[in-house]
Amino acid sequence: MDKEQGVTVAKSAGFCPGVKGAIDKVLELEASGKKPIYTLGPLIHNKQVTDMLAAKQISSVDKPEQAQDKSGVLVIRAHGITPAFRAEVMNSGMEVVDATCPLVKHAHDVISKYAQEGYHTVIVGDGGHAEVIGLLGCTQGKGVVVSGPEEAQALPHYDKVNIVSQTTQKESVFFAAAEIIKNKSDICQISNTICHPTKLRQSETMTMAKNADLVIVVGGKHSANTARLALLCRELAPQVVHIETEAELTPEQVLPAKSIFITAGASTPNWVINQVAEWVRQTRKKRGISFTGILQRFWAKFISHSAYTALAAAALTYVCMKLEGLAFQYKPLLFSALFVFSLNTVNRAWENKTRPAGKLPAIFGYTAAALALVVAALMGLKTFVLAALMTALGLLYPLRHALKSKILSLPGTKDILTAIGWGFACAFLPAFTNDLLLRKSSYLAIFYAVLLVFMRSVTLGFTSANKDLMIGKESFYKAFGIGKTKLAVMGLLGALTTVLAVLLTITWKPALVAMLLLGNLYTICIVIYYYSHTASRGVKEETLIDAQFFILWILAWLSRFI
């Protein structure tokens, strides 16, 4: 937990496994080119996420008949649906994907089992909530919903009753209601179906909220579990605010509090929570504007606008050109920086096109692409033609789904294409321009660049997934999971070392290669650190991961003195 500026962010804040699983399923479908995608009800109650999904042509319908394009896919969301509605959906003739949370399915099974044995069911939850409607549908017509102990008092006597809870119910409310029902029943089964992630979230909130002057609960205003979390906090902390984004906060709210606790509902993505935490910290920092504070803000902008990544590409180009035996030339460095900047910026702008800040970066991105082509033209006609082709392909990447290409939707393609793009700009193009492609050292330099950038991209993807960024299986980590990603990264480190070892055996620039082997140590440290922590992608992560290119640049430059 980070306590910077007296602000603590809950460890348990962010997507629960059920919501995460449902979003992953939908993004997988979208990445595989299946469109349109209809979710039965909003996938989650969070405006920022539903806006992003809408931009990807993923919309919500209440019934299969409302789906305009019957060749699309219907997705059952994490909340689940009633067995009767499930039968209707299955008979709709549309392709159906079930993203019901396994913990909700467990609650369905518990209810069905006892209902079959003749038990009445009492559900402690919110009557109109989608999950509760689904649970009620499993009771074989002998179910009732109560919101808590007060409504439980009004229930009749039961001969056999099974008491279950909405998965996000507050435990004390559930047990208080269950106690009342038990006292007026002959046989009573208490089935606590509150899910484990909810229990963890509530327990952490109870510990932290009572020691905070201000609790900020982040999440959709229509999200039942976020509203319940806010209610729980109101019992414990002197001041509680429930917000969807940082835009709803004012400095007057966050400045007087000595300690602030930020928590969030199960449907709030980590990037929204991080934005809120960042705003609160920055606002509190501004109380005393310091030189380091200004520097930090500048650095954060430098990273988020891809300027740092562009310089990293130039650094790698310098290293590759040295490996290829080329004398220093500024044009290939300038080209790779502009090329990587433009593709990065345009791709990010497409990903963020529902956010207001999405348009201006796109203009910068296209301008950088045009400048990159001017530089390529100065390097010669054949360089220009090839650069124009690769730039066009890179800029068209965000439109890949329109092509319905299976190859572009394969797992891990984003990382592979990023590595190929960098390998082209940093290693291939300088060798191609200088007619050095047929040299063994050039092939090895290209291979080295591609491997290094692929590993960087996979590691950044891993930290993005920890942040709940909306990435799908085009990211290697999302496609293959942590075990295979670790294995792949180990293999990549081995391959990188092998490339350098081969260069050493052909006695190609031994001083330079020895220095790059030294640089490998930094890369190994980065890999060990990030795959043994669940760090979320941020300024620090991007700084440290891309720093490897600057370290290699310095080492490559120093090799001239050996």
- Active-site annotation, residues: 131
Closest distance to ligand SF4 from the beta carbon of 166 (Å): 9
486 residue type, one letter: K
Closest distance to ligand SF4 from the beta carbon of 241 (Å): 22
Closest distance to ligand SF4 from the beta carbon of 17 (Å): 5
* Coil, strand or helix at 80: coil
Closest distance to ligand SF4 from the beta carbon of 268 (Å): 12
Q: How many angstroms separate the CA atoms of 277 and 553, rounded?
A: 35
Describe the strand order of the beta sheet including 73-76 as a list of residue ranges.
58-61, 37-40, 73-76, 95-98
500 CB-near residues (< 8 Å, 6+ apart): 448, 513, 516, 517, 520
Whichever of 78 and 323 has its CB closer to ligand SF4, that residue is: 78
| Strands of 220-371, DSSP E | 239-243, 260-264
- Count other Cβ atoms within 10 Å, centred on residue 179: 14
Pairing status of strand 7-9 against strand 260-264: parallel
**What is the number of the residue whose Cβ is closest to ligand SF4?**
18
Buried b (16+ CB within 10 A) or exposed e, 10-40: bebbbbbebbbbbbbbbbbbbbbebbebbbb
Whichever of 266 and 556 has its CB closer to ligand SF4, that residue is: 266
Whichever of 168 and 270 has its CB closer to ligand SF4, that residue is: 168
Among candidates 217, 231, 211, which has minimal Cα distance to 262?
A: 217
Whichever of 129 and 486 has its CB closer to ligand SF4, that residue is: 129
Whichever of 233 and 526 has its CB closer to ligand SF4, that residue is: 233
Give Cα separations from 185 to 87, 152, 224, 536 (angstroms). 33, 12, 30, 50
Give Cα separations from 186 to 59, 136, 141, 179, 318 (angstroms). 47, 22, 20, 13, 80
Size of the chain, expressed as the number of residues it contains: 562
Whichever of 195 and 471 has its CB closer to ligand SF4, that residue is: 195
Closest distance to ligand SF4 from the beta carbon of 198 (Å): 5
22 CB-near residues (< 8 Å, 6+ apart): 43, 44, 75, 77, 78, 99, 101
Whichever of 48 and 225 has its CB closer to ligand SF4, that residue is: 225
Which tokens belong to 243? Answer: 């917000």
> Which residue in this structure is represented by tokens 């910068």?
364
Whichever of 18 and 472 has its CB closer to ligand SF4, that residue is: 18
Whichever of 198 and 306 has its CB closer to ligand SF4, that residue is: 198
Q: How many angstroms separate the CA atoms of 351 and 344, rounded?
A: 11
CA end-to-end span of the chain: 46
410 CB-near residues (< 8 Å, 6+ apart): none
Closest distance to ligand SF4 from the beta carbon of 196 (Å): 8
- Identify whether the C-beta of residue 139 lies closer than 8 Å to the C-beta of residue 164: no
Buried b (16+ CB within 10 A) or exposed e, 232-261: bbeebbeebbbbbebeebeeebbeebebbb
Bond preceding residue 36 cis, omega within 30 of 0: yes
Reported as half-sphere exposure (CB side, CA atoms, 13 A), residue 468 has a value of: 25
Among candidates 406, 392, 538, 544, which has minimal Cα distance to 473?
A: 406
- Binding residues for ligand SF4 (CB under 6 A): 16-19, 78, 101, 103-104, 167-168, 195, 197-198, 266
Closest distance to ligand SF4 from the beta carbon of 266 (Å): 5
